[in-house]
Amino acid sequence: MGKKCIVIFLTGDDAQTYDGKPLMLQDVLFCPVLNWCMRAWMEKGIGRFFVVCHPEHYDQVAACFPAGAVAAVGDPDSYEEELAEFAKGCWIEEVREALLPVGSMMLSFRTVQELIRLQQAVKEDIAAFHLATRVNVLDPDHTYIDPRVTIGAGTTILPGTILRGETVIGENCEIGPNAMLIDCQVGDGCVINASQCYESTMGQGVHVGPYAHIRPHCQVGDGCKVGAFVEIKNAVLGAGTKLSHLTYVGDADVGERVNFGCGTITSNYDGFQKYRTVIEDDVFIGCNTNLVPPVTVGSGAYIAAGTTVTKDVEPDSLAIGRVRQENKAGWAKTRRNMHKK
């Protein structure tokens, strides 16, 4: 790994690009070409890279370095001295054209349009790789998988699925149709149906969707259900907890085996600051409940449907916070008569 250093120059692009970035920083299947190349070179035993680019691209270049790579960035006006120190004792290979690994070859390209044409070939390569590792990519033409994604054997990827970033999916899952995951960790045996998940972790046997939204920084425990039209954000859900439909839980710590009735929300934001809700194990929350934090619901408690919870609920108690129903006889008929209907 230390006998060869590849020096990549990103300063000679004459091509017109749609965002002003060098060609090697353009994305192919959500991953910069530079990252594709470095990963391909590392598979061949090369792990030392020096990238020469304008300072405005330093951060974008650094974000492309794969795990395990030894890499540095230099300015085109002063890189020689830094490179001499960085690559001391290594044989230096210079790369001055834009390249993309396709199969076992590194193909050059000069425009974004050429790169788009190459994208189809690498898309097929990725699908073939996963198929060879016993992943069932049902419709490769309508599935988009980032090269950094890891998928376990026995998992089925249904059409319309988009997998991005450092997503890791376990074995025997079903992802899709029409699901998008970005930088997520998904345990074995999960189902994610027509939903979007971002920067979150799901345990084993989790069922998500359809039409659920898991926003960043969520931890969903084993056997949880995040059902239809449910949104969670910055929340921890204990094992076996169920949010079956039409629920929002944000900034919350939820225990195990909690049941959320539909229409439940945590009112976590007061316009200036966000607060956390704590719900302990085995709580039953009735439909149309508002939880106004900071508030704690003790283990085993029940919350009656239609309740707004503004103070702590003791364990094993029943919380009721609603106006008592009153029926006014004949009111509807009188109203119709007033409007002559």
Whether residue 217 lies in the annotated active site: no
**How many alpha carbons fall within 13 Å on the CB side of residue 223?**
9
Helix or strand or coil: residue 260?
strand
**Cα–Cα dist 158/104, whole Å:** 28
Is 288 within 8 Å of 271 (Cβ atoms)? no
**How many alpha carbons fall within 13 Å on the CB side of residue 241?**
28
pLDDT band at 18 (very low <50, low <70, confident <90, very high): low
pLDDT computed for residue 11 by the predictor: 73
Is 115 within 8 Å of 23 (Cβ atoms)? yes
**Cα–Cα dist 224/319, whole Å:** 24
pLDDT computed for residue 51 by the predictor: 96
Other Cβ atoms less than 10 A from the Cβ of 245: the count is 19
pLDDT band at 16 (very low <50, low <70, confident <90, very high): low
Task: Return the percentage of the chain with pLDDT > 90, whole number.
Answer: 89
Most confident of 24-28, 106-110, 157-161: 157-161
Side chain identity at residue 239, one-letter code:
A
pLDDT tens, 279-328? 999 999 999 999 999 999 999 999 999 999 999 999 999 999 988 889 99
Q: Check the CA dihedral 138-143-147-152 and report its sign.
A: negative
**Cα–Cα dist 38/49, whole Å:** 8
pLDDT at 17 over 70: no
| pTM of the complete model | 0.89
pLDDT computed for residue 21 by the predictor: 85
**Cα–Cα dist 194/215, whole Å:** 15
pLDDT tens, 86-132? 998 899 999 999 999 998 899 999 888 899 999 999 999 999 999 99
Other Cβ atoms less than 10 A from the Cβ of 62: the count is 12
**Ranges of H-type helices in the chain:** 33-43, 58-62, 79-86, 112-132, 331-338
Both tokens of 18, joined, read 């749609």
pLDDT at 45 over 70: yes
> What's the whole-number mean pLDDT along residues 53-72?
93
What is the C-alpha R_g of the chain? 27
Residue 92 parent element (H or E): strand 91-95
pLDDT at 171 over 90: yes
User: Cα dist. 181→9, 84, 160, 228, 334 in Å?
Assistant: 33, 42, 12, 17, 55
**Cα–Cα dist 250/236, whole Å:** 9
pLDDT at 14 over 60: no
User: Cα dist. 168→43, 69, 118, 153, 288 in Å?
Assistant: 20, 20, 25, 12, 35
Burial of 234 (0-12, 13-18, 19+ CB in 10 A): middle
